[in-house]
Amino acid sequence: MFQNLALFIILGVWLTILSLIFGWLFLKLNKLIKNTEEKSFVGAIEKIVSLEKENKKEIDELDKRIVNIVSDNLNHIQKMSLVRFNPFEETGGDHSFSIALLDGNSTGVVITGLHTRERTRLYVKPIKRGKCEFELSLEEQKALLKAQKE
């Protein structure tokens, strides 16, 4: 008799727990279906799965576009530095300059303008991966190093 009563109590507790779980699931599923146009549970799940697949495709496309933008960005001028100086004692002021313009790969140019009383001369030296095949003046080296540190 005591064993039967204990068995009924255990079954009652078990059924109560299952009823609470079922009620909680029912509320969650109703909330899920309410947010979709579908009226059935299966239709709602199918709609959610199809939307998830579409979102995955769009995310993959956006990832590809981001990779392209990042790789393209390396080819634009990103680093710049200007050094002004006075190369000749007979002229006053720092009217001459060296400017380094580099992309993300440290490739670009160093432009130097030498100003005298009679004229201004511009010199351009190509830079590939931080190196120049021509000898750089001290001011050009300073401009290049400052630009590379940016």
pLDDT tens readout for residues 43-70: 878 888 899 999 999 999 999 999 998 8
The pLDDT score that the predictor gives to residue 1 is: 64
Mean pLDDT value across the chain? 88
* CA end-to-end span of the chain: 86
β 108-115/79-85 pair status: unpaired
The count of other CB atoms within 10 Å of the CB of residue 101 is 19
Q: What phi, psi does 92 have (nearest 5°)?
A: -100, 145
As a whole number, mean pLDDT of residues 115-134 equals 90
- The ranges assigned to domains in the chain are 2-73, 79-149
Band (91; pLDDT cuts 50, 70, 90): low
CA–CA dist 44, 28 (Å, integer):
13
CA–CA dist 85, 98 (Å, integer):
8
Kindly report which listed range (6-20, 29-43, 51-65) carries the lowest average pLDDT score.
29-43
The pLDDT score that the predictor gives to residue 126 is: 95
Looking at the predicted structure, is the pLDDT value of residue 116 above 90? no
The pLDDT score that the predictor gives to residue 72 is: 82
**Which of 124, 142, 122 minimizes the C-alpha distance to 133?**
124
CA–CA dist 71, 66 (Å, integer):
9
The count of other CB atoms within 10 Å of the CB of residue 81 is 19
The pLDDT score that the predictor gives to residue 112 is: 96
